[in-house]
Amino acid sequence: MNEQKRMIWLSGEIVPLEDAKIHVLSPTSQFGLNVFEGLRGYWNEEQGQLYIFRLQEHAERLLKSVKMMRFDCDYTLQYLQDSVLEIVRANEYKEDIAVRQTIFVDGFGNWASTGPTGMFIAPIAKGRQLEAESKGIHVCVSSWERISDKCLPPKIKLGANYMNSRLGQMEAVRNGYDSTLFLTADGKVSEGPGSCMFMVRDGELITPPVTSSILESITRTTLIQIARDELGLSVVEREIDRTELYIADEVFMCGSAVEILPVLSIDRLNVGNGDEGEVTKRIEKAYFDIITGKKDKNSAWLTPVY
C-alpha cells in the first residue's frame, strides 16, 4: 500500500490521510493534551487473518488515561474497539501493522481545557522492530530522571509525557547508543523511552514494579504471564539497582512498539557474553507464537480483523 493514500479514522469519519486535520490552536496541538494507545496487528498468512493483539486491554487503558486526565469524553469500551477494527478493514491490510489511537482535546481552549474531545486512529504497515540480521541493542543509563507519579504520572499514556522519553533517547543516540534506561528519583531502574525492561539474574526473571515510575505496560504483563505459565520461569517484580544492570546475565526491553529487544551492552559493558540470552530467546519465541496466532491457548488475546 502507498501509505500516503491510506485512510484515517477521525472523530467518527473515515477520511483520506490528507484530509485528517486538527486546528493548530487546539490544546492538543499547543500543549500535547492527548492520551493514546499504540497497538499492533500481526498477519497470519496460513490463516489469511490479521490479529490485533490485546485490543480490549488497550481500550481499557485508554479509558483510564481519559479518566485521570479528566477529559470530557463519552466513548465506550466497545466503541473504541469497533473503531479500530473499522479503520483497519477500510485500509484492507494483509500484513503486520501498527495502530495509533489518540483521544485529544480539540477546539480553542488552553492547557486546562477538558473538552471538546476528538479521536483519530491511524494504522500503518510495520514489520518487526528488530531486523533479522540484528542481535540486539546497546543502551546507556540516562542522565535524565524518569518522570514520576508526583509530577507527570507515567501510568497515564499522555502525549506530553513522551518529551521525557525524547530527551533521554536523543541524548543516547548523540552519544552513540541505540537507546537508554531511566532511573527514578531514588536512583532505581525504571524503564526505557517507550519500553519496559526485564533482566535475568541467577535464573530469575526480574522487572521493576509498577511503582518504579513505569507505564503499566500490557506487553510487560503479557510477558510475566508467559514466563510463569508457559515457560515455568521464576518471575520477580522488585526494585533494581543501577549496578545490577552491569552484572545481569541477560537484559531485554519490551513494548507494543519495540516488541522484544535484547540488550547486548549497558554503558559499554557487555550484558552476559554480549549476545542475546537463552531465556530472552525462549520468551521471544513464545511471545511471537502467541501474537501471530500460531498457538490457540491464548486466542482470547487476539481479535481477528476479517
Pairwise CA distance, residues 99 & 40, whole Å? 6
**Coil, helix or strand for 59?**
helix
Residue 117: the pLDDT is 97
Residues listed for the chain: 306
| 128 band by pLDDT with thresholds 50, 70 and 90 | confident
In terms of Cα–Cα distance, which of 256, 255, 220 is closest to 235?
Answer: 220
Contacts of 141 (CB under 8 A, 6+ apart): 180, 181, 183, 242, 245, 266, 267
What's the predicted TM-score (pTM) here? Answer: 0.95
pLDDT above 80 (res 290): yes
Provide, rounded to the nearest whole percent, the portion of the chain with pLDDT above 90. 93
Residue 197: the pLDDT is 98
pLDDT above 80 (res 130): no
Provide, rounded to the nearest whole percent, the portion of the chain with pLDDT above 70. 99
Pairwise CA distance, residues 37 & 59, whole Å? 8
Q: Identify whether 116 is preceded by a cis peptide bond (ω within 30 of 0).
A: yes
Assigned C-alpha cell, 44: 497470519
pLDDT digits (tens, 9 = 90+) for 164-177: 999 999 999 999 99
Residue type, 58: H
| 267 band by pLDDT with thresholds 50, 70 and 90 | very high
Residue 129: the pLDDT is 75
In 92-154, DSSP assigns E strands to 97-105, 117-125, 137-145
Residue 14's H or E segment, with its range, is strand 13-16
Catalytic residue IDs: 157
| 89 band by pLDDT with thresholds 50, 70 and 90 | very high
Q: Residue range 3-22: average pLDDT?
A: 94
| 133 band by pLDDT with thresholds 50, 70 and 90 | low
